[in-house]
Structure 1
Amino acid sequence: FFQGDARRRHVRLVYRRTGAGTDWRRELLWP
Structure 2
Amino acid sequence: MKTVGRQPVLELTDFKRDLSELTDRLGHAQDCL
In the superposition, the TM-score normalised over structure 1's length comes to 0.29
Greater fraction helix: 2
Higher relative contact order (CA 8 A, sep 6+): 1
Compare CA radii of gyration and give the structure with the larger one: 2
